[in-house]
Chain A
Amino acid sequence: MTNKLDRRSFMTGAAVAGVVAAIGQRAAAATADDPLTITLVIPSPVADVGWGHALAAGLDTVKEAYGDAVSITIIENIYEGPDADRIMNKAVADGTKFLVAGSFGYQNGAMQIARRNPDVTVLHASGFMVAPNFSPFAAQYSQGTYLMGMAAAALSKTGKIGSVSAFAIPELITSINAFVLGAQAINPDIECSVVWLNSWFDPAKAQEATKALAAQDCDVIFSNAQDTPSVVAQCEELGIYSFNLNSSMKAYAPKTYLGCVETDWSPFFKASVDAHIAGTFEGGNAFLGVADDVVKVVDWSADIPAEVMAKIKEAEAGIADGSFSPFAGPIMKADGSEGVAAGATMTKDEIVGMDWHVKGVTTPLPS
């Protein structure tokens, strides 16, 4: 069983718990048999799909493995900012020894907690700071979106594909670039339009953007960092293909769902909890992909031609064993200059910091 708390009930308990906490914490430290308390803090509600769902599902695996030896609390709907710092501090004061900070904006607060509490292990999503007991983690979505691009190019009749994306930050730009590079591996002339919503969360705007892309003849849409099925459901209605990240939305588009670049955090969470319990946890930058079993492409559309599927599987195997990278040169930038020279391959750090579009993306990047 996973306990779910929302902000309100959490705060109701806070008044009483504030007094009890100090005593409780000492008691927890005194008895070694007490379960390891794991707390996940996320900015959005946990739904049946999406980012929060993927993180919660990862912790479910830890729970299955350890049973009563761990106790998991999920605190959802916590805005990034001082509120989050307070709530994470409170969770640690209440005995949390393993904290998963599920959003980039929690970084500074979570890092402070890690520094002040050397016995607490902190995992932080999408960040860059590292400490001995603090690991940032991120998924290499680009490995999956590259494969999706190959499928998209095979199914696109117009030679135009599109993406509805939240903010123009490197993580999302990289996903789009890989998507386009994968598409160009099948159809070198393919073009991609991007709509930047400049909002993490606005389903209505996401659907407007989907319609706008369809009006421009884009017939495969990449729902980039959209936590709701807004784009996927709209594509089903318009009869065009779509795919998304994190968790499968096939139920929302049974006919036109291309597939899902799924993130399965369970191997990473399990390994981190194992290390925490064994006392061997070492903070480091966890940039995880297909080889780590974290990024997987699932629910492939049955419409993808068999010969393309064979190529996709080949590329997937290459990515998994490290013999192939979506970001192997030569890669041209959208402005016509050279991005990656022939024979060179982008390093992980370069991929993480990618702030330019590859050739074939027709929408200019907001600067």
Chain B
Amino acid sequence: MNAIEFIISGMLAAATPFLLAALGELVAERSGVLNLGVEGMMAFGAALAFIIVYNGGGHILAFLVAGIGGVLLSLLFAFVALGLRANQVATGLAIGILGLGLSAFFGKPYESYTIKGISKISIPVLSDIPVIGGLFSQDIVVWLAILTSAGLWYALTRMKAGLLLRAVGENPKAVNSLGYSVFALRIGAVAFGGLMAGIAGAYASTVYTPLWADGMIAGRGWIAVALVVFGTWMVGRVFLGACLFGAVSLAGIAAQTAGLSIPSQILTSLPYLVTIVVLGIISSNKRLLKLNGIASLGETYK
């Protein structure tokens, strides 16, 4: 295996934690709610999932409970930010800190323990192609994340529920006047965001890096939030951004092992730079940006 094969085979798995969390945040933001607690919800999910797998509960239960954990935190957010109409940014930050604290609390007895990850599923024939074959040998969660992206794209552009969700983000009054509950729609979207963040955390702690260490999410939730904004709330771009980020961060490591004489600090910052530049160029059309921007994002609906 050379450096190129290493990047190609690893980029989807590297992108998955970002992708899952970003898809959830995308749905929440599409409904007009800015939940900045993604990092904390991921960490909480990661801790719960690790504890379950470590105690022999298996990965399916672990992902389920991690998702529920994320939902609970997001509902707490919804209660304060939507129910009590508190500032969404402040509430999101508080929930994020709470999630990190809870993950440290529950994870404490498991500090630096390791578990077994899950095996990969290879697509026959495709995975035997030289160089790019590794792309088709991934664990089940990666495949599901890709399917979820596709499904979400379809739902947001072709299905009534998706269009309704977008409408709530653009003009909640109009949706309300049609007889829908803005509150219920937004709670649903926020809960979905929590679910995905919890699952993203579970992936990080039980599949991608099967060990528990306090603080192991290490800012990945924030990158997910940034990906949503730079991807201008479009599923395809967020998917692309996540893959790009994964690929470039692996490329930075591979470049070091290959002995390229680029300072490692630059290689470390490369994923951020490349993702910002590429997504920035893609979304540089001002008219489209205005069109894609969510009109009521972060605003309290009364």
- Rounded to whole angstroms, the CA-CA distance of A216 and B2 in the bound complex is 6
Also in contact, A364 and B265, with CB within 8 A (given A199-B218, A212-B250, A215-B2):
no
Smallest CB–CB gap between A7 and chain B, Å?
10
- Rounded to whole angstroms, the CA-CA distance of A337 and B158 in the bound complex is 66
B92-133 interface bits toward A, Cβ cutoff 8 Å, 1 = contact, 0 = none: 000000000100100010011110010000000000000000
- Rounded to whole angstroms, the CA-CA distance of A215 and B134 in the bound complex is 12
Say if the beta carbon of A136 comes within 8 Å of chain B. no
Smallest CB–CB gap between B259 and chain A, Å?
4
Contact status A77-B112, CB under 8 Å: no
CB-nearest residue of chain A relative to B258? A216
Query: Contacts of A215 on B, CB cut-off 8 Å?
Result: 1-3, 5-6, 254, 257
* Interface of chain A residues 20 through 62 with chain B (CB within 8 A): 45-50
- Rounded to whole angstroms, the CA-CA distance of A215 and B258 in the bound complex is 10
Query: Contacts of A237 on B, CB cut-off 8 Å?
Result: 117
Contact status B218-A216, CB under 8 Å: no
Contact status A366-B2, CB under 8 Å: no
Query: Contacts of B213 on A, CB cut-off 8 Å?
Result: 47, 201, 203, 227-228, 230
CB-nearest residue of chain B relative to A207? B209
Contact status B211-A212, CB under 8 Å: no
Contact status B6-A211, CB under 8 Å: yes
Query: Contacts of B220 on A, CB cut-off 8 Å?
Result: 204
Contact of A193 (CB < 8 Å), options: B214, B256, B268: B256
B176-218 interface bits toward A, Cβ cutoff 8 Å, 1 = contact, 0 = none: 0000000000000000000000000000100011110111101
Say if the beta carbon of B231 comes within 8 Å of chain A. no
Contact status B264-A212, CB under 8 Å: no
Also in contact, A229 and B257, with CB within 8 A (given A215-B6, A366-B265):
no
Query: Contacts of B215 on A, CB cut-off 8 Å?
Result: 201
- How many B residues touch A, CB cutoff 8 Å? 41
Contact status A367-B10, CB under 8 Å: no
CB-nearest residue of chain A relative to B218? A202
Query: Contacts of A207 on B, CB cut-off 8 Å?
Result: 208-209
CB-nearest residue of chain A relative to B115? A233
Contact status A208-B257, CB under 8 Å: no
- Rounded to whole angstroms, the CA-CA distance of A194 and B3 in the bound complex is 14
Smallest CB–CB gap between B161 and chain A, Å?
34
- Rounded to whole angstroms, the CA-CA distance of A162 and B254 in the bound complex is 12
Say if the beta carbon of A347 comes within 8 Å of chain B. no
Say if the beta carbon of B14 comes within 8 Å of chain A. yes
Q: Kindly name the residue among A8, A162, A212, A367 whose own CB sees the greatest number of chain B CB atoms within 10 A.
A: A212
* Interface of chain B residues 238 through 288 with chain A (CB within 8 A): 249-250, 253-254, 256-261, 263-265, 268
* Interface of chain A residues 150 through 189 with chain B (CB within 8 A): 162, 168
* Interface of chain B residues 130 through 182 with chain A (CB within 8 A): none
Say if the beta carbon of A104 comes within 8 Å of chain B. no
Query: Contacts of A196 on B, CB cut-off 8 Å?
Result: 256, 264, 268
Q: Kindly name the residue among B112, B211, B258 whose own CB sees the greatest number of chain A CB atoms within 10 A.
A: B112
- Rounded to whole angstroms, the CA-CA distance of A45 and B116 in the bound complex is 23
- Rounded to whole angstroms, the CA-CA distance of A59 and B6 in the bound complex is 44
- Categorize the interface residue count of chain A: 35 or more
CB-nearest residue of chain A relative to B263? A366
Say if the beta carbon of A123 comes within 8 Å of chain B. no
Contact status A216-B268, CB under 8 Å: no
Say if the beta carbon of A363 comes within 8 Å of chain B. yes
Query: Contacts of A193 on B, CB cut-off 8 Å?
Result: 256-259
Smallest CB–CB gap between B53 and chain A, Å?
14
Q: Kindly name the residue among B6, B14, B117, B204 whose own CB sees the greatest number of chain A CB atoms within 10 A.
A: B6
A99-136 interface bits toward B, Cβ cutoff 8 Å, 1 = contact, 0 = none: 00000000000000000000000000000000000000
Contact status B257-A212, CB under 8 Å: yes
Contact of B259 (CB < 8 Å), options: A8, A212, A252, A364: A364
- Rounded to whole angstroms, the CA-CA distance of A77 and B107 in the bound complex is 14
Query: Contacts of A45 on B, CB cut-off 8 Å?
Result: 104, 108, 111, 214
Say if the beta carbon of A352 comes within 8 Å of chain B. no
- Rounded to whole angstroms, the CA-CA distance of A367 and B265 in the bound complex is 9
Say if the beta carbon of A346 comes within 8 Å of chain B. no
Contact status A208-B14, CB under 8 Å: yes
Contact status B259-A362, CB under 8 Å: yes
Contact status A48-B112, CB under 8 Å: yes
CB-nearest residue of chain B relative to A215? B6
Also in contact, A204 and B216, with CB within 8 A (given A212-B253, A212-B254, A367-B263):
yes
Smallest CB–CB gap between A260 and chain B, Å?
14
Contact status A218-B264, CB under 8 Å: no
CB-nearest residue of chain B relative to A210? B253
Contact of B257 (CB < 8 Å), options: A46, A202, A363, A366: A363
- Rounded to whole angstroms, the CA-CA distance of A193 and B216 in the bound complex is 25
Contact status A203-B257, CB under 8 Å: no
Query: Contacts of B6 on A, CB cut-off 8 Å?
Result: 211-212, 215
Q: Kindly name the residue among A77, A205, A213 whose own CB sees the greatest number of chain B CB atoms within 10 A.
A: A205
Contact status A363-B256, CB under 8 Å: yes
Contact status B214-A203, CB under 8 Å: no
A13-25 interface bits toward B, Cβ cutoff 8 Å, 1 = contact, 0 = none: 0000000000000
- Rounded to whole angstroms, the CA-CA distance of A363 and B112 in the bound complex is 29
Smallest CB–CB gap between B214 and chain A, Å?
5
Say if the beta carbon of A320 comes within 8 Å of chain B. no
Contact status B108-A208, CB under 8 Å: no
Contact status B253-A363, CB under 8 Å: no
Query: Contacts of A77 on B, CB cut-off 8 Å?
Result: 104, 214
Contact of B112 (CB < 8 Å), options: A50, A213, A216, A367: A50
Enumerate 9 A-B pairs (CB-CB under 8 Å) in ascending A order: A48-B111, A48-B113, A77-B104, A194-B256, A203-B211, A209-B253, A216-B2, A363-B257, A366-B264
* Across the A-B interface, the 4 shortest Cβ-Cβ residue pairs: A215-B6, A47-B112, A47-B111, A196-B264
Known: A212-B253, A212-B257, A366-B265. 6 other contacts (CB 8 A): A47-B213, A199-B218, A203-B209, A212-B6, A229-B211, A363-B256
Which A residues are within 8 Å of any B CB, using their own CB?
Answer: 8, 45-50, 77, 162, 168, 193-199, 201-205, 207-209, 211-216, 218, 227-230, 233, 237, 252, 362-364, 366-367
